[in-house]
Structure 1
Amino acid sequence: MEGIGLIILIILSVLFIIFATAKLRLHPFLSLLFAAFGLGIFAGIPLTEVVTAVNEGFGGLMSGIGLVIIFGTIIGVILEKSGAAYRMAEFVLRIIGPKRPQMAMSVIGAIVSIPVFCDSGFVILSSLKKAIAKRAKVAVASVSIALATGLYATHTLVPPTPGPIAAAGNIGAENYLGTIILIGLVVAIPTVIIGYIWSIKVGTKIKIDGEDDFSLDYEEIVQGFGEMPSTLKSFAPILVPILLIGFSSIINFAEWSGTIFDIFVFLGSPSVALLVGILFAFMLLPKYDEETLTDWIGIGIKEAAPILLITGAGGAFGKVISSTSIVDFIESFGNNTFFTGAAFVFVPFIIAAALKSAQGSSTAALVITSTLIAPLLPGLGIEGALPLALVVMATGAGSMVVSHVNDSYFWVVKEFSGMSVTQAYKGQTMATLLQGIVAIIVTFILWIIFI
């Protein structure tokens, strides 16, 4: 199959994925695999080649980013279980001060969600935000929205969060994680700020039933958590891998050579850098026994498993797409301004936004969208660290739009803040819409300036 017929077939495959995950509640892993096999068969690819494409797509992607996802998830679990995430929050609160509770919670969320899933981060910090709101005498909803949007921004934009890593792997940018982290932070800052502004302008007007009944204060919350690790130890598992990856990117860009530089390039490869992060995370363990060394690590592996499966299935789907004649067909539109230049960033944004709004998962939206656009990028001349990083940002921006009732994070924010569904739509859903729009605008501007 070729031409418009092939385009329609791919669109139908995507619609099937959306229908199967959103309506039938089929796991995205199987939805993607069924779509991959169906696309290959109906596109007329020889059956043996369909099987080969699925296997190569799945295994090839895992070889690049599988370990990175697992290591990042393990670090997140240790930060959560050891109290290090709470310690980082307390440190930020001391720096920013109690008079700016919404700003403090936005920054806390942005930091904590780099390694920790936004759902878990919100639950961990739920009692803290209520105590902060009580002490500062501000609406609980405003602090909740500030925390939720701060968590959400880095969750969708900044590695080593699994979604952006998976997207990077799908488009062949796994060797450019240093650049993606840097660009992710740049795009995340205004995205966090718009969430903070929304929490101030709208969140302060939302009155939650029973918020005045919360009895514990900040000091009691901190004491009740028990002994926590030091601030330096708490930040090390995040900062050390980021610094290693970043320095390795600088070395490669500057083309420095020598034994010392070779060692840092080795340490800065994503899988090694995250493994070093795990070693620093071991310093956070309250004790070294079966509970921490087996059970906690096991939780991280279990949390990574669904992401690995979805990512691998996405890679299989992408490999099948690239095995068709779609790339040649898209190249025929090479002079179309919509497919060239800065305007291209709106393609992954729109696809990811549609997927996110339809099926709820930001990670799935990142994986599926990056899978769909990956075969197009070489033919459009989109290659290299910065262009590919901006494609990841555009995909991440789309995966924010919007968090509503089919998104587990929506319910976490609603339940742990005490907002009604209507209030959560006003506070959380609208905030995520604005965040996605701001993120894609910043990405578009960066592309115009630097590409």
Structure 2
Amino acid sequence: MSILTISVLVLLSIVLIVILTSVTKLNAFASLFMVSLLLAVIALPGKDIVEILKQGFGNTVSSIGFLIIFGAIIAVVLEKTGGAASIANYILSKTGHRNAASAMGITGFIVGLPIFCDSGYIIMSGLAKSFSSKAKVALPFIAFVLATSLYSVHCLTPTHPGALAASGILGANLGMLIVLGTLFAIPAALAAFLWIKWQTRNDIYTETENSHHEIRSNEQLPPIHLSLLPIVTPLLLIATGSLLTVLDISNVNFILKGLAFLGQPIVSLMIGVLLSLFLLKNRAIKNINIVLESAIEKAGPILIVTGAGGMFGLVIKETGVGAYAGEFLLQTGLGLAVPFLIASILKTAQGSSTVAIITAASFVVPMLPALGLDSEPGKLLAMISMGAGSMMVSHANDSYFWVVSRFSGIGSNTALKVYSSATVVMGIVTFLCVWLTSLFML
């Protein structure tokens, strides 16, 4: 079978996934599994198809499984104990009501590090309405700032399943990627803030916009230091571990070896889980088990979908089409724009940032040598480029778009005009930052 025929089959398989997930609304795992099997049967007749599917699924889950489960536990504890609300209250007290939108953005960014953007928005949407009421600021400004701040870290930081799975597919350094993803999420969130502020500059606060959601008093919420511990501690440990690795001093002495061990993402998030348990007022085993079971129930479907994405990726890799496409695209001189464009097309077409970045990673990984991105810095920047692409465009085929619109009580036309356009700005600004960084790193 010619490489051209295989290329057409791979493209058709991606189109089929888009149709199955966005048009027919078939479950993402079922869509990925059926298309992976079909593509393997047609394009890889001489290979052990079952073994390829098992390896693709198993390798992906083994690389990210613990991280997703631990992250889900931290998220559930912050939600159930009011830890997220405690962080919001604290930031608002420091910024003042006049800067309610900024407070909401900072809160969303911090809370969004361990919590998925849709869950985070559901948790925080009532607070956004309260902030709007207290500060007499139009709700769309505050609501969309919250939405985009959560979204920035969701797409770029591999404490979330899409970036996690993609980093495993590319073999990128996870610790460095968490640090870089968080740093690149800052200009993305800031660009969205400024864009939304400009788009809503003529909006007037009206009482009917709000449902009088009251922020619980500080007496009812856990202390701010306990609320921040399970978020900040893992990030600091991971950053420290990554720095030791970059400086190549992680084996110099016992203390540095210990810090390097604690800085491994799995160990760091496990420590975050243990610290999060201090937020529970009732630490009886029965109550802890309820939290753990709730987190595992949330993590299960995510693990399955990301594993299926890795399975599809290995099938594509085995066809050899990625290396061929990389050699062709190398002649265009697009470089980092290739992973960005692939992820953005997939995101816009089928709606899921997670599916977009996993599929893009599967397509891009064989191209890395041809694109000159097979070095460690190259892999990291390719990952951030795909994360930027997976931001745009969040519109009517994205479930998060409807979460933002419905839970804020803002019409879909306004959401399309302000929020969806903001995701385009976020993606472009992030990619420009990646491109500028590549001038020094590559």
Residue aligning to 1:230: 223
Q: Which amino acid aligns with 1:268?
A: G
Residue aligning to 2:9: 9
Residue aligning to 2:383: 392
Contact 1:315-1:371 at 8 Å conserved across structures: yes
Residue aligning to 1:271: 266
Distance in 1 of aligned mates of 2:204 and 2:156: 31
Helix, strand or coil at the partner of 1:282: helix
Range 140-149 or range 291-300, more displaced: 291-300
The reply to whether residue 376 of structure 1 matches residue 337 of structure 2 is: no
Distance in 2 of aligned mates of 1:447 and 1:189: 18
Contact 1:321-1:375 at 8 Å conserved across structures: no
Distance in 2 of aligned mates of 1:178 and 1:201: 36
Residue aligning to 2:115: 116
Contact 1:171-1:388 at 8 Å conserved across structures: yes
The reply to whether residue 449 of structure 1 matches residue 440 of structure 2 is: yes
CA offsets per residue over residues 327-367 of structure 1, 9 Å max, x none?
Answer: 552464485143xxxx3222222222222222221112122
1:164-175 to structure 2, matched below 5 A, reads 164-173=163-172
Gaps of 5+ in 2: none
Contact 1:159-1:177 at 8 Å conserved across structures: yes
Gaps of 5+ in 1: none
The partner residue of 1:251 within 229, 244, 247 is 244
1:283-298 to structure 2, matched below 5 A, reads 283-289=278-284, 292-298=287-293
Range 319-328 or range 1-10, more displaced: 319-328
The reply to whether residue 71 of structure 1 matches residue 70 of structure 2 is: yes
Q: CA deviation at 1:449?
A: 2.7
1:360-371 to structure 2, matched below 5 A, reads 360-371=351-362
Contact 1:238-1:277 at 8 Å conserved across structures: yes
Helix, strand or coil at the partner of 2:416: helix
Distance in 1 of aligned mates of 2:22 and 2:329: 34
Residue aligning to 2:59: 60
Distance in 2 of aligned mates of 1:266 and 1:330: 39
Residue aligning to 2:146: 147
Count of residue correspondences: 440
Residue aligning to 1:192: 189
| TM-score (ref. length: structure 1) | 0.92
Distance in 1 of aligned mates of 2:156 and 2:188: 10
Distance in 2 of aligned mates of 1:209 and 1:355: 38
CA offsets per residue over residues 131-187 of structure 1, 9 Å max, x none?
Answer: 2112222111111111111111111112312222122112112xx222112221222
Helix, strand or coil at the partner of 1:283: helix
Q: CA deviation at 1:206?
A: 4.1
Range 277-286 or range 319-328, more displaced: 319-328
Q: CA deviation at 1:15?
A: 0.6
| TM-score (ref. length: structure 2) | 0.94
Contact 2:132-2:138 at 8 Å conserved across structures: yes
Contact 1:157-1:397 at 8 Å conserved across structures: yes
Change (3 A) 1:361 1:14: same
The reply to whether residue 138 of structure 1 matches residue 154 of structure 2 is: no
Distance in 2 of aligned mates of 1:379 and 1:312: 27
How many percent of aligned residue pairs carry the same amino acid? 37
Q: CA deviation at 1:53?
A: 0.9
Change (3 A) 1:81 1:332: same
1:390-429 to structure 2, matched below 5 A, reads 390-429=381-420
The reply to whether residue 315 of structure 1 matches residue 316 of structure 2 is: no
Helix, strand or coil at the partner of 1:400: coil
Distance in 2 of aligned mates of 1:98 and 1:275: 36
